[in-house]
Every structure is written in C-alpha cells, then in structure tokens.
Structure 1
Amino acid sequence: MPEYAAVRSGESAAHAATETFVAHRNLLFTVAYEMLGSAADAEDVLQETWLRWVAVDLDQVRDRRAYLVRITTRQALNRLRSMSRRKESYVGQWLPEPLLTAPDVAQDIELAENLSMALMHVLETLSPTERAVFVLREVFDLGYEEIAAAVDKTPAAVRQIAHRARKHVDARRPRQTVDPQASRAALDSFQRAVETGDLQGLLDVLAPQVVLMADGGGFKQASPRPILGADKVVRFLGAQGAKFEAALAFEPTVVNGGPALLVRLGGELDGVMAMDFEDGRISALYYVRNPEKLTRIHTETALTTK
C-alpha cells in the first residue's frame, strides 16, 4: 500500500506540474521570444524549462508562475549569450523573426507596441542582462526582487540596470503613438504604389528619413547595410519591382501586432515586410527574407504578458 500511495502521489505531482506549465506556456513563450527575437530558440528554451520544471518539488514552490518565469529567464539568458556569438558571424543584417499574431494582439495597443518589430530591433542593441531586465520590468511589469532572483543580481543592481536599459531604449524607439487606421491606410497606399510602379506614390507614403533593413541570412540576397532616405529606398524598391516585374505579389497581414505584407515571388513566399509608422507615413521597413525565420508565418502565435 505505501508503494501504491507513492506512485499515486507521483502521478498527482506530474499532473499538477503539467497543468501549471500548460496554463502559463503562452506567457513563457512570450518571455523567451522577447528576450531572443527567435521563435525556434524560444521553443528550445521552453523545452529546457519543462525539463527543469518537472524535477522541481512543487510543495516547496510558493508562486509557481514566478518560478516558471525565473527558469525561463535563466535558460533564455544562456541561449541569448550563445546567440550573441552566432550573430557575430551572421551574413548581413540580423532582424527578429516575424510572428503572425492574432487580432487580439493588434487590438491591445500596449502589447502590440511591446511586441513590435521596432522595439524588438532596438532590444538587439542591449546586452543580454540588460535585455532580460528591460523585458521583465517594462514588458511584464515584474518587481525588482523577482527580477533579481531571475538574473542572479541584487535588487539594487537590477534597478540600475533597468534605468540604464530604459534610457537606452527610449533614445532609440519610436516615441509617437501610432493610429491603427492611419497605419493601415499607409500600408494600403504603399502596396498600391509598389504593385503599380508608382514611384511618386511611394515617395508620398514614405517619411523623408525612412530606413529599410533586410535580412537574407546568407540564403537570399539582401542589402548588407540599412538603406536610409526616401529617395534611396524608392530607387531600391523600384529596381526590385523592375527586376521581377509581375512575379511580385503582396498580401496584407499582421505580424507582431502590427500591419505588414507577405511578399510572394512567382507564387512562393519570398519574405515578410513589417513597418513602423509616423505621422501617417512609413518610417521604417523590416524585410525578412531568411527562410529559416519564416517557418511560423502561416500559423498564428499566441502571445501574452499575463
């Protein structure tokens, strides 16, 4: 009987661990993705988190959600440090992996801003620890003591890191609140201009200091450096349109909570073009062509900060 009771107790603990992990899985994925900018690496982090979670004595865990976030953060930090070395040898510009998101993400303005390609790109300029602290504090609103436990720092050190990271991000991220309707109108105008070869229409919808960044990952051709300025971006897009003529097609979509375009070449997916907007114009274009970053673009990814 004692052996049977032990087996039943083990089954109950495993069931509780599974239930808790599944209940918070979307949150944990969002934490890992925000830290890494890669869905594939985020999934690997979740697998590592699960393996460590099932070995935990749940009776000793006061706050299961916080404990899971702590494990995920530590695993993501380890992965982020190894990714930093990978990025040093990456061919061309490295952009975050775009994710197809559900309508509720786009409707939640704060969540959409925190998941935007603009912020994700800025987060790439932080150190691993700064990024972890910024994400946990600014995106997930965790307390300093909870973050300190996750990153193995003192609360005082975390406060300093958070202040430094916030100052760094604020200096680089778009400050203006974006009107979703104005953004959609700008995207529609951009699509029409590209499809019809209307170069003046492109100039009209692009901000004067617009920047275009492209990520081919060595698999597809992409500009090795950002293209800055409306005239240069229009010349680049015009040359691309003339090169492929009618083989190019565009399909509106929503990635990372914001308007974007699926770009098809000869009927096959060529890439995803996400955008930033300012004063009703496009201020940045993020063109991800690396096929390794497009594997999830046809399936909605559930993201949450709750």
Structure 2
Amino acid sequence: MRPDPVEIFEAQRPRLLRLAYRMLGVHAESEDIVQEAYLRWHRIDTKVTDIENPAGWLTRTVSRLCLDQMKSARYRREVYPGIWLPEPLIEPEDDTLRPDNLTLSLMMALERLSPLERAAFLLHDVFDLPLDEVAATIDRSPAATRQLASRARAHVRVDQPRFPIPRATGDELARVFFEACKSGDATALGAMLAEDATLRSDGGGKVLAYPNMINGAENLVRLFLGLQRKIGPQMEFLGATVIDGLPGFVSRLDGHLQTTALEVTDGRITAIYVTRNPDKLGGVLRH
C-alpha cells in the first residue's frame, strides 16, 4: 500500500515547527516556513515513495528555508525598536514532553551566532542529526560544519543552566516575585535578585517597554518600586507557567498582557525577560 504523504508530513510537523522556531524565534514565520515545506512536499507527491528518509528530507528543506529567512530576519532585528526577544513559548505542564533542552536565555545566546553557526549547533547538538547530514543541509564540508558547531557550542556554553528548576519550585518563585513587585516589598525583591541581575523588555514599539537593558539588583529594585507606586493596583497575575524552559508568569500591567521569564542561578534571579509586544503574544492567548 502506498504511504500517505499527508500522514508522513503531519507526523513530522511538530518537530519541524520546533526546529523552525528555534532557528527563527518567531512563531508566525516558523509556521510559514513549515507550510512552504509542506507545499514543496506536496509538489513531489508522486515521488514521495522514492525518498528513503522523509524526516531527513523535510528537516533539510525547513533548515534551508530558515537560513534564507534568517538573512532578512537579522536585518529586521537590527532596526527593531528597542530590545528584541524571541516570542514566548509556553511549555506543557508535563516537563518530560519538552523535546529539547533550550531555554529562553539560550535562545538569546543563539542570537549572537551567525546563521550557519546557529543551524549547525541546533541540527547537530539539539536535534541530533549526524554531522554528515548537517553538512549536506547547510552545504558545507563535514570539517567546516564541525568547526561551526564547535564555535557555536563555545559561545552558548556559558549560558547553559546547570541545574533545572522543578516545575513546582519555579511556579512558587514566579508567584512570590510577582507579589513582591505588586506590594513593593523591597526586602523580598533584594533577597531574590542576584547582585548582577539584568532585565530586558520587548515592547516592539507597540507598547511601553524599557529601550535598554537594565543592570544590577539595586537599579531593578528601584525600578519595581517605582512601577508599584504608579500602577501597583493594576498589576494582575494570570498564572505561573514555564516560558521556554524558564520559570515565569503571565500578567496584565496597565491593561496590557505580558509574559515574564526568570533565569535563576544558585537560587537567585539573574535575568528577567519581559515580553509586551502584542504581536508576540498570540500564542499566550491560546493557552
């Protein structure tokens, strides 16, 4: 019996979407890439039975489409108003369902890589493709591909979290942090923040956000206390969750939906990622 091309593709779709998102950091563009891959798959419908490794063919197609897209995406991020953050990816309740171990902080580290370094690292280290398949996908020799992956690995190694936080612990941390912000509890905030903690916020030019990264626990405490004095009663906690592998929460501030992801090291918050750009929160509304 001839295999059904649609069934073959749909079985691969979740993995392809995850790969495209990890390459691009934008859900809508990832969905467009996978749809284009489907159209190309559909066009070779009559030859599908001749493809020995459909998963490999689809992975190469999506990866190459992403590489083309990344050239223009990089330019758009250079002219992006303020700080750019990846779209928040709300994780499933069951952490064992996470098919990769990337966090939002690692996604930010990937932004420092060239498109080829990013592709080599993701395909080989995250999605477990053999080196020769990665080389064929990015059209480089195996030796060059190994160097690309090695350079990428060196860049992101320092951002790899050493100890994952259990879901319940992360949820409680997110709730306590939000309550400290809403009540203006400077002592609690100071105890939760690492001395060199940072905050990045992405409003996309659509809503108010801090245009530059804010550094240091003292500066952050002052910022949160000022925010509490202005709109404390309007801070609404909508639920704790996991955002790209980091503990976090969804909230509403001054009428605007936002997500906050917390990077934690040795029990203290070292980085805070706040996404307020409404164009990036469609997936959050669906959860």
Counterpart position of 2:192: 205
Question: Which of 66, 69, 75 is the aligned partner of 1:79?
Answer: 69
Is 1:51 aligned to 2:42, yes or no? no
- TM-score if structure 2 supplies the norm length? 0.93
User: Cα deviation per residue 1:92-129 (whole Å; 9 max; x = unaligned)?
Assistant: 0000000222123x345783x31x11111111111111
Deviation, 1:154, is 1.3
- The whole-number CA distance in structure 1 between the counterparts of 2:90 and 2:284 is 5
Aligned mates of 1:240, 1:135 — CA distance in 2:
38
1:178 and 2:168 matched: no
Matched, 1:122 2:109: yes
Q: Which amino acid aligns with 1:222?
A: A
Find the residue that maps to 2:43 and give its secondary structure: coil
Equivalent-residue separation in structure 1 for 2:96 and 2:271 (angstroms):
21
Q: After TM superposition, where is structure 1 displaced by more than 6 Å over at least 4 residues in a row?
A: none
Give the C-alpha shift of residue 148 in structure 1: 1.1
> Which residue number in structure 2 is paired with residue 6 of structure 1?
none
| Residue matched to 1:70 | 60
In structure 2, the residue matched to 1:159 is: 146
Q: Is the 8 A contact 2:161 2:265 kept in 1?
A: no
Q: CA deviation at 1:231?
A: 0.6
Of structures 1 and 2, the one scoring higher in RCO (CA 8 A, sep 6+) is 1
Matched, 1:16 2:9: no
Task: State the Cα RMSD in Å.
Answer: 1.8
User: Structure 1: which amino acid aligns with 2:165?
Assistant: D
C-alpha separation between the residues in 1 aligned to 2:59 and 2:253? 41
- Rounded to whole Å, the distance in 2 between the matches of 1:174 and 1:211 is 17
Higher Cα radius of gyration: 1
Displacement, 1:192? 2.0
Q: CA deviation at 1:196?
A: 1.4
Q: Distance in 2 between matches of 1:200 and 1:33?
A: 38
- Asked if the contact 2:262–2:270 (Cα under 8 Å) also holds between the matched residues in 1, the reply is yes
Aligned length: 283
1:88-237 equivalences in 2 (<5 Å):
88-104=78-94, 106-107=95-96, 111=100, 113-114=101-102, 116-171=103-158, 173-180=159-166, 181-237=168-224
- In percent, how many aligned pairs have the same letter? 37
Moved more, 16-25 or 173-182: 173-182
- Mapped pair 1:38 → 2:26: yes
1:292 aligns with 2:283: no
Matched with 1:249 is 236
| Residue 37 of structure 1: how far off its partner (Å) | 0.6
**Shift in Å at residue 153 of structure 1?**
1.1
Residue 169 of structure 1: how far off its partner (Å): 1.0
Cα distance, 1:90 vs structure 2: 0.4
Which amino acid in structure 2 is aligned with residue 34 of structure 1? R
Could you list the per-position Cα deviations for residues 113-157 of structure 1 after superposition, in whole angstroms to 9, with x for gaps in the alignment? 31x111111111111111111111111111111111211111111
Query: What residue in structure 2 maps to residue 263 of structure 1?
Result: 251
- Segments of 5+ residues of structure 2 without an aligned counterpart are none
Checking the alignment, whether the CA contact within 8 Å between 1:215 and 1:288 is kept in structure 2 is: yes
- 1:185 CA displacement: 3.6
Cα distance in 1 for partners of 2:5, 2:97 equals: 30
Secondary structure, counterpart of 1:297 in structure 2 = helix
Aligned counterparts of 1:217 and 1:166: Cα–Cα separation in 2: 29
